[in-house]
Structure 1
Amino acid sequence: MGERQVEFRNVSFRYQEDMPWVLKNVSFTIGPNEWVAIIGHNGSGKSTIAKLMNGLLFPQEGEIFVDGMKVSQESVWDIRKEVGMVFQNPDNQFVGTTVRDDVAFGMENHGMPRDLMVERIKESLKAVRMEDFERYEPHRLSGGQKQRIAIASVLAVSPKFIILDEATAMLDPKGRKEIMQTVREVQQERDLSLITITHDLQEVTQASRVLVMNSGEVWMEGSPREVFSSKDHLTEIGLDTPFVSKMADHLKAEGVSLAREPLNHQELLEDLWTSRSNM
């Protein structure tokens, strides 16, 4: 039960007593500076995991530890200092009349001193490249800009873990790419652990580890390369694989040997180049 990690120990959860279990005996650990992507189709329990980590829900069975603290009604405010959450729809996250108020809101909740707040607002907006928008009204921003502000609001509280719960789902591909780029930079600069719950396979290939949820259980766990190389299993539970993965399969079927499961176009090209020059 180390510091700087999230641990689920045999966690089971259901929304009501007469309803089916959404999570069944789930155990895993997320370590410091790790980027873990959680995937699974709707109803697999992945969003419930996010809400349990942040103390929005509590398990009926098992225990959850964040940074050495057990998640409970008593510890929930301390937990929320450590675990920041960005949701799918940025409009539901806005509380302030200006961007500045909004970024300040979380810090006010935690009773931070004013001069620290001013400094953090500037730092957080700068981290997401939105420093010129401090006085803007949130409703005047684009979807991608709103999501950046939501991330800045979370960063301002300076958590050790950030959960993005389908946070890029409503953005166009360009906006999605920019947000993930921002998040990646922030993660590296601040030594955060990142948990992304996502449908976007491009996002998954960048993570250090992938948890595949199916019917409330951890169905598979591994690096993106390991997970995508068992495509048949993923298809079995109704999950798609990246285009580049499918392409690699077609090439193998045609007798082209590839050194590894490619995660992006760059890798596929390098492998093709290598196998070509060995002929």
Structure 2
Amino acid sequence: MEERQVEFRNVSFRYQEDMPWVLKNVNFTIGPDEWVAIIGHNGSGKSTIAKLMNGLLFPQEGEVYVGGTKVNADTVWDVRKQVGMVFQNPDNQFVGTTVRDDVAFGMENHGMPRDLMVNRIQQSLKAVRMEEFERHEPHRLSGGQKQRIAIAGVLAVSPEFIILDEATAMLDPKGRKEIMQTVSDVQQERDLSLITITHDLQEVTMASRVIVMNGGEIWMEGSPRDVFSKKDHLTEIGLDTPFVSKMADHLKKEGVRLSREPLNHQELLEDLCISRSTM
């Protein structure tokens, strides 16, 4: 088994014995340096997947492996050194009186030596462009700044995988864009595997692969371009598609030829320019 990967093998989960299964026989692998977006409507099982990766929950059936280690009560603390998690509300992750204290918290829990901690704090804050806020009080920061600090705290532990569980849901569009650009930069610099649980369609277009959950099962899987090209299927299970994708469909119905499913406005404009030049 590849050590730098997350693997779900026939995983099923429910919160109580008399409740329906939230996940049903789920199988997938997330490889090194991959960015995977997991989407689905509320109750589809996507956030449960995140908690199973991090050892906050354990499956009743099947197995979850992180970096070649089976996730269970005996290995959970080793797994959490490899898997960092950023939640929707950063205030729930803050425990220190300063930004520095918060970034240091996870490393203290793992018993890292002080010299290493000091170096990691500086590196992590620099990675999210927040090095000037080291002595600030977290609760005085903006929502986007708080989420950057939460990400820095995860980076400081130097995980192989980072999960963002609706991490931009409470931010305005500008804040969401800044956080996702930060995350994208960090992933490329540090060779991380990134898992985003999200409703934000623009986040999905940045991923290399998309897993669509429906009724506790993997309903569709593919690149963002492949997934968003199946608009009718997504609509069937109550999911939306990006505005640019809808615009492309409208143009096709009007007879405009496009070479691909556009993921952003730039791609659509490029295709329109090519189409016009060949008329």
- TM-score normalised by length of structure 1: 1.00
Q: Deviations over 1:130-175 (max 9, x none)?
A: 0011111111111100000000000000000000000000000000
Identity %: 88
CA deviation map 1:38-70 (0-9, x unaligned): 000000000000000000000000000000000
Matches within 5 A, 1:51-66: 51-66=51-66
Distance 1:90 1:215 in 2: 29
Report the CA distance between 1:195 and its aligned residue. Answer: 0.2
Whichever residue aligns with residue 266 of structure 2, its letter is Q
**Distance in 2 separating the partners of 1:114 and 1:256:** 62
Which residue does the alignment assign to 1:217?
217
- Match of residue 125 from structure 2: 125
Per the alignment, residue 85 of structure 1 pairs with: 85
What amino acid sits opposite 2:30 in the alignment?
I
User: What residue number does 1:28 align with?
Assistant: 28
Secondary structure of the residue aligned to 1:241 is coil
Aligned length: 279
The aligned amino acid for 1:127 is: A
Q: Does 1:116 align with 2:116?
A: yes
In 2, Cα distance between equivalents of 1:74 and 1:142: 38
What's the offset of the Cα at 1:219? 0.3
Q: Distance in 2 between matches of 1:272 and 1:104?
A: 50
Deviation at 1:2, TM superposition (A): 1.2
How much does 1:214 deviate?
Answer: 0.3
Q: Name the counterpart of 2:249.
A: 249
1:69 matched to 2:69? The reply is yes
Aligned partners of 1:270, 1:103: CA distance in 2, in Å?
A: 42
Task: State the partner residue of 1:273.
Answer: 273
Cα separation, 2, equivalents of 1:112 and 1:161: 19
Q: Residues of 2 paired with 1:147 and 1:12: CA distance?
A: 31
Runs of 4+ in 1 over 2 A off after TM superposition: none
Q: Secondary structure at the match of 1:135?
A: coil
- 2:234 is matched with 234
- For 1:3, the equivalent position in structure 2 comes to 3
Secondary structure in 2 aligned to 1:212? strand
| Cα deviation code 1:200-252 (max 9, x no counterpart) | 00010010000000010000000000000000000000000000000000001
Alignment of 1:187-202 (within 5 A): 187-202=187-202
Q: Aligned partner of 2:19: which letter?
A: M
How far apart are 1:275 and its partner, in Å?
1.0
Match of 1:164 in 2: 164
Aligned partners of 1:187, 1:59: CA distance in 2, in Å?
28
Q: Deviations over 1:176-196 (max 9, x none)?
A: 000000000000000000000
Gaps of 5+ in 2: none
Question: Equivalences for 1:130-141 in 2 at 5 Å?
Answer: 130-141=130-141
The TM-score, its normalising length taken from structure 2, stands at 1.00
- What CA distance in whole angstroms lies between the structure 1 residues aligned with 2:129 and 2:248? 37
Q: Which amino acid in the other structure matches residue 33 of structure 1? A: D
Distance in 2 between the 1:25 and 1:221 partners? 15
